[in-house]
Structure 1
Amino acid sequence: MPGNVGHQRCHWCSCDQREVVDPSYAGFVAAPQAVTGSVGNLPTELTSFVGRRVERAEIRRLLSRARLVTLTGFGGVGKTRLALRAATELRRAFPDGVWFADLSTLSDPVLVPDTVASALKLHPQSPRGAIGVLTEFLAPRHALLVLDSCEHLLDPCVELAISLLQSAPNLRILATSRQSLNTAGEQILPVMPLPVPDKLDPRDSQLEDSSINLFLDRVTAVVPDFRLTDDNMDEVLALCRKLEGVPLALELAAVKLRGMSLTEVLEQLSGRFPSLTGNRVAADRQHSLRECIEWSYELCTPAERDLWAQVSVFAGGFELDAIESVATTTAHDSEPELASVLFSLVDKSILIREEHDGKTRYRMLDIIRQYGQQRLRDSGQWITTRRRHRDFYADFVDQARAGWVNVRESDWFARLRREHANLQAALEFCTTEPGEAVIGLRIAAGLRHHWMTRGLVREGLHWITRLRTQTPSDTHTTILAINTAVWLSTLQGDLTIADSLLEDGRALARQFGEPAEAFIRQASGFQALFADNLSRAASDFEKAIAIFETVGNSIEKVYTLFLLALVHTFAGDFERAPTRYHECLALDPPDEILIRAKCLSWLAVLHTGDIQGDLKMEQESLRLKYSIDDHFGIAISIDAMAWITAWNNPRRAAALLGAAVTRFDEMGIPISSLPGLFARHQACETRLRQTLGDTFADAYARGASLRRDSAIQYALAEEPHAQPAPDLARSPFDLLTPRESEVAALVSQGLSNKDIAKMLVISQRTAESHVQHILTKLSFASRAQIATWITERRRK
């Protein structure tokens, strides 16, 4: 049998799980464990993956003997696609997850650990920082981390890799970089262009891994009726040879066949590229790729070239309204509408169109973006265009800040999540370009709720600290920045920094008067609340509310009113607390989420005597928080559900307590740093330990082991007596489409691709594609493994 059948007993039930374990994983899969499904965040591949079988096998081999493997090679050679495909194929080998962190748009080395933590859905808010949170999360886990595009951040990437590998003995790291990380224990795998055969024989099985196959795959995607024939065979071979098998160059050339013949494409290539034969160095191939990108640029209209250069200032993705603000019209004759030019760049594969949160976004491959940036610099418009980019996002943040307590609030939260890389780019511009820091401070200060709900407290403080050193201290923007910084440093647990900030803020408030005093009073009250100084917190909040009402700032008034209600709750004043919460809800727009969710959450824990009613109210709060991805609020709601259910369902309450603590730990916030919350948490835990005795630890551990979405699903379960189900990923069979399942069944019967094609009335190439997808999704290396796996499923 090609694989070994692994057995393991399910942790939370008596079922026996069986899976075929590929022998090539034996070096780093602890037998007899078997892994079902996948955990992690690998992005979905938008185009088919072609070839690289030797490299994929070598990556598996290297990761079985080394803990750090780096794929090196020039831009456009396919390092990222190879790493993603290899990681996808290795998912079953890493039961605790395969995680992908894209560093290509990051420019600030300080934020490397934070960016990686965010990719793992961790939110470092404690003084331990991102590295501390990452090491704590990864230390007990058998996981693979992919660090993509390390070349411009080598030192921080090396420091992070060393720290994580030293702390997490079962962690493997797969990095991509244009140069090696040059650290002890690193195994380097150079990624070369796809091979170009000396002659073209369609019957040659080696074509599957060649540049020919990639080119044909990409051509048929844009020209579906294109076929390799005796008449065009030599031209296809000549084109792949001219482009030296560089994947990105081949993809750009394939797009040209939408409007040109193969002969015309080859003629243009022959006219501009020098012949690169033999073992030329990578620099020559990089030059060849640049020539290909330059050729694509010259085939664009003047309007398309201008737009290509201007949108290169965006980091990550961007949407149409942002393009309209950043891109300027030119004086070209018959200037087409911006949308038309944009769609043309998509057609030419310069821009990639994607859907996020139901919105259309565009992005560029990093090497194409870099070419556009160089063109923009050469034109003398680099700083001007970046300033327009910054101005758009400064206005965007102002609008979002004005829309917090609003029916569009959830839209703003979602858009801020999508635009995080662009916000970083705008802030970086403000810190590096003289005279721009004041607007940067305005952006960082205006993102208070974004930093908090996303768990990006450390990053928010980083930007505010950098920008404050470059701006005058006597501006209203400084007041807002101090307000935000106090909130963030308090959540991070550093009350000393908060005290220092408040001292500066109070001096400025005396200078500016209202409404500056209101923002400083609000921040002071927030710090006092977390310092368990409830009398000072109440006094500061009451004065802030009065000022906000006088100056007409209804958003901050409602939020401060909620904080005052929280003071009454922690003080045990169960008469005034619900009154304040209901005041907030009365002032709140009907479809607002942030304040509504928080008020419902704390109203539910005031113990009205109706346990089921309180639980349903807390569950509604959790649903609202989940809809805006409020990580901090989600943790509080799950913990609060434990307090509510402790009276009638102690085992469920214990599981919820464990799930809540895990959520706080993921954010890097020890629950003990929140005095009012921690007192109730401790009281609940004490009661549950007395009630459950020795069984408390088991129930608590079950809840603590749940991943976030599973914990939320469990907390929202209608059946109050339900115990948390095992947090198992989907069966691998669930990963297959209905057609792929059908093909897998036929493979198990011993049918060839040709036979399957005839039986299903599809082309042989389509049948081959289905089989390859099945092998990839199930991480198998042979058809025999598919047959064995199908047989095992039928026995069950």
Structure 2
Amino acid sequence: MWTDSRTADAPPAWTDLATYVGRQEEGAEVRRLLGSARLVTLTGPGGVGKTRLAERVAARLRRAFADGVIGVPLAEARDERLLAGLIAHRLGLHDRSVQPTLHTVADYLREKQLLLVLDNCEHLVADCAELVTTLLRHCPRLVVLCTSRRSLGVAGEHVHAVPPLTVPSGHGTSVRELEASEAVQLFVDRACSVLPSFRLTDDNGPDVAKVCRQVDGLPLGIELAAARIRALSPHQIARRLEDRLAVLSTGSRTVPERQRTLRATADWSFALCTEAERVVWARCSVFAGSFDLAAAEHVCAGGARGEDVLAAVDGLIDMSVLQREDVGSTVRYRMLETLRDYGHEQLVARNADREAARRHRDHYDRLTRDADAEWFGPRQPEWNDRLRAEHANLRVALTWSLTEPGEAGVALRMATRVSEYFVMSGAAREAREWIDRALAAVDEDEPGRALALSTSALCALFQSDLPSARARLDEAAALDTAEADAHLDYVRSFAAMLCTEPTVELAAKAVRAFAERGDVRRQMHPLFILGVSVAYRGDLDLARALLRWMLSLCEDAGDSHYRSMALFGIGVVEVWFGDAEVAETAMREALRIDLRAGDKLSAAYRVDGLAWVASRQGGHTRAARLFGTAATMWDRCGATPDVAVSIPHRCFRDATRDALGLDRFERAYAEGRSMTPAEAAGGTGEDRIEEPPRLPPSVSPLTRREAEVADLVAAGMTNREIARRLVIAQRTADTHVQHILTKLGFANRTQLTVWVIERRAAHEN
């Protein structure tokens, strides 16, 4: 499943890794339901294909929703308290307000015509029901599509039970008759993907049909069986499955038949694995979302040799147990929830679940330690991307540490270390919740408690929750821990700045203390506060010197985030007290940095700052547009400029309104509301500000095989020629091409050819 870029610039929620077979009638029925109902839930047993059907339907409907489609995989949300935050993250919201996250999500979606797809709701069904009810009540144009093993039980819910794929009858055995079966089509497609020479023939057709009937047409069962075609013939697969089903049929009759069937298929697949593959399958069930090889090697080290893990991972990919995802220059792996559940059962049966969970937590403990050590510098964007990819696993590691006796201290350290990442990615509330939960679980004399309290206060300030911040600061001060004194002075200075209170002495004290420790990273924000504060106190030369010093420290370290902050500080000081042209140059450069990094809240400050510059220079219409654009950005962040930059924001906004008159101001402001930051702040030539593309040339929505097919289409080949070149069935080539066109939203091969050529040109440049 993917996230439509018209609505959010969050990363894809999940990616379609293979061609789509069958389900035309079911897809049409679900689309019909979504045309008249605001909540549709696809139900059915694990492995029946609910997620793939939802993805297909969403892809076909994305143009029917003005604000796009958002897919949210809920399997990685192991804690109901994270549910609304996960949706906010997928929407690209920076949750900086003190109100509940669900209210922030509802406020954002209130006027949106959008399809929200919630995948795998069954483990949080009551919480999903409450959330969906709230959203549908407050967002009249919102439509929700859920997948779950059971319905939500919400008023107005339309439930569509997803059936298995059609299987051949026990009578027709010709290839033509068998090819009419969706189950056979899927088996052949998946078999060809692992053994390109495979063909459905009169000889193997009856056995293929038997396999499809044995697994009751369940897509996951078919894929697991077809993945074995490299080593076993269809006849051998059918015979082995028959043996496994016979064993299972003697078990409990309380288990639904299709669940027994799927379990038999998983048992059979697990039994055919090598011991190393079984260990990796079971131990990798502790991961949430996706994971990389280093994480798998660490978690599996307790049960398999390091050199065996890569081979096992490769084997599990061939068997369709793991799915491979290319993320930039890194390969990550993902396991379907049904197979993850099965793997976890095996892990528990081996009495290895606690050890695997601990190794998982230890890996992410070390990851947060390394990220913290290298955060200030040129690797910050890389660490930001890595932590974003590991966000779901960080949650799992933190949750385990908080529920396992004696481990809460590790959670406290982890959450404190990555709080800056959480804040930058718009999850200040989540950082604060993890820290506060850990603080409640550790002893009063836990090392690092004072720093954690101060960090919790900082996160509260980013949510504009001043009372809670002051309470946490008082708790930290009562501990009388010298280690946290500088951080306390820094956070107090920030609180004072937000309240327009005297802050110079506190900020200066923090800067000096961090400098004495050689902690350049933690000097940065206090330096910004100090520079801006001394300017307001009347010392412009000192303010310029302090902010230029901050800028040079960032440039020496190769850090971009705090460099943007220093440039913004220069812009604030110059637009208010000095040279407006210098302010504009600084604000523009800061905005470029923030747009490249995807830092929406910082970008909102920069766009608002450019409005101040335009107002001071007399460009009042442009200033009003910029204020409108910034307002949209503030709304999306759940924040307001009236807290951190209230004085210049109000003064320049009022001056702009007075210069234009209310009607002209409102018209320009409304125009700006619908503009992107790049459009509003545009300029020309070298001054032009460009947002990063939603999908950079290095990242393709296509799988490797789809990209290969797209290149051949662009070369002018027919589907038959493509099939010959890739040694696949023409039906498979047809399916690949149609799927590519659907995924990219194209109507014909010419559009696809142009897309391929443009991407090649982008790579070359």
Q: Contact 2:624 / 2:665 at 8 angstroms: preserved in 1?
A: yes
Identify unmatched segments of 5+ residues in structure 1.
Answer: 1-35, 747-751, 787-796
Deviation, structure 1 residue 94? 0.6
Give the alignment's TM-score, normalised by structure 2: 0.87
Contact 2:44 2:150 in 1 (8 A): yes
Deviation at 1:187, TM superposition (A): 0.6
2: CA distance between counterparts of 1:625 and 1:688? 26
Equivalent residue number for residue 262 of structure 1: 234
Counterpart of 2:214 in structure 1 is: 242
Separation of aligned partners in 1, 2:390 and 2:707: 33
Instruction: Determine the structure 2 residue equivalent to 1:615.
Output: 584
Change (3 A) 1:258 1:714: farther
Unaligned runs of 5+ in 2: 696-700, 752-765
C-alpha displacement of 1:140 = 0.8
Q: Which is worse superposed, 310-319 or 697-706?
A: 697-706
Residues 410, 627 of structure 1: 8 Å contact kept: no
**Percent same amino acid at aligned positions?**
37
Pick from 211, 214, 218: which aligns with 2:190? 218
Query: 1:614 offset after TM fit, Å?
Result: 3.8
Tell me the CA shift for residue 737 of structure 1: 9.9
Change (3 A) 1:103 1:738: closer
Tell me the alpha carbon deviations over residues 629-653 of structure 1, each in whole angstroms, 9 at most, x when there is no partner.
3222121112112222332533333
Change (3 A) 1:696 1:762: farther
1:296 and 2:269 equivalent? yes
The aligned runs of 1:19-98 (5 Å cut-off) are 39=7, 43-98=14-69
Alpha-carbon separation, structure 2, partners of 1:507 and 1:174: 50
Is 1:396 paired with 2:367?
yes
Q: Does 1:580 align with 2:546?
A: yes
Deviations 1:58-84 (A, max 9, x none): 111211221111111111111111111
Judging changes above 3 Å, is the alpha-carbon distance between structure 1 residues 661 and 570 closer, same or farther for their aligned structure 2 residues?
farther
Q: Separation in 1 of the partners of 2:216 and 2:19?
A: 21
Q: Structure 1's 200 and 652: CA in aligned 2 closer, same or farther, altered over 3 A?
A: farther
Corresponding position: 1:703 with 2:672: yes
Alpha carbons 1:326, 1:389 under 8 Å: kept: yes
Question: Mapping of 1:500-649 within 5 angstroms?
Answer: 500-508=471-479, 510=480, 512-513=481-482, 515-533=483-501, 535=502, 537-569=503-535, 571=537, 573-588=539-554, 589-607=556-574, 611=580, 613-646=582-615, 647=617, 649=619
Query: Which residue among 633, 636, 656 is the counterpart of 1:666?
Result: 636
Give the conservation status (yes or no) of the 8 Å contact 2:17–2:323: no
Name the aligned partner's letter for residue 665 of structure 2.
Answer: F
1:650 alignment partner, one of 620, 626, 631: 620
Partner of 2:279: 306
How many Å apart are 1:561 and its aligned residue? Answer: 2.0
1:724 deviates by 12
Residue 406 of structure 1 corresponds to which residue in structure 2? 377
The more displaced of 219-228 and 579-588 is 579-588
- The aligned residue for residue 151 of structure 2 is 180
CA–CA distance in 1 between the matches of 2:364 and 2:5? 39
Cα 1:290–1:581 change in 2 (3 A) is same
* C-alpha contact 2:592 2:689 (8 A) present in aligned 1: no
1:465 aligned counterpart, secondary structure:
helix
Task: Compute the displacement of 1:568 (Å).
Answer: 3.1
Decide whether aligned partners of structure 1 residues 282 and 691 sit closer, same or farther in structure 2, where only a CA change above 3 A counts: farther
Partners of 1:201 and 1:728 lie apart in 2 by: 48
Structure 2 counterparts to residues 61-460 of structure 1, below 5 A = 61-198=32-169, 199-203=172-176, 207=179, 210-274=182-246, 283-330=256-303, 336-460=307-431
The alignment yields a C-alpha RMSD, in angstroms, of 3.5
Aligned-partner residue type, residue 493 of structure 2: G
Q: 1:766 to 1:360 in 2, by over 3 A?
A: closer
Deviations 1:191-235 (A, max 9, x none): 12111121355445x956611111111111111121111111111
The answer to whether the 8 Å contact 2:20/2:735 transfers is no
Using structure 1 for the length normalisation, give the TM-score: 0.83
- Judge conservation of contact 1:42–1:98 (CA < 8 Å) in 2: no
Match of 1:690 in 2: 658
Residues 696-735 of structure 1: matches in 2 within 5 Å?
Answer: 696-706=665-675, 710-712=676-678, 714-715=680-681, 717-718=683-684
Report the CA distance between 1:678 and its aligned residue: 2.4
Deviation at 1:53, TM superposition (A): 1.2
8 Å CA contact 1:151, 1:178 repeated in 2:
yes
1:667 Cα deviation from its structure 2 partner: 1.5
User: How far apart are 1:323 and its partner, in Å?
Assistant: 2.4
The number of residues matched between the two structures is 720
CA 1:57/1:775 → structure 2, altered by over 3 Å: closer, same or farther?
Answer: farther
- What CA distance in whole angstroms lies between the structure 2 residues aligned with 1:314 and 1:37? 27
Deviations 1:428-467 (A, max 9, x none): 1012111111111111111221121111011112212222
Give the superposition deviation at 1:237.
0.6
CA contact (8 A) 1:427 1:440 kept: yes
Determine which structure has greater relative contact order: mean sequence separation of CA pairs < 8 Å that are 6+ residues apart, divided by chain length.
1
Query: How far did residue 624 of structure 1 move?
Result: 2.1
Higher helix share: 2
Instruction: Give how far 1:398 is off.
Output: 1.8
Residues 169 and 772 (structure 1), Cα distance of their counterparts in 2 relative to 1, 3 Å cut: same
Q: Which stretch of structure 1 is more off in the superposition, 223-232 or 282-291?
A: 282-291
**Paired residue for 1:21?**
none
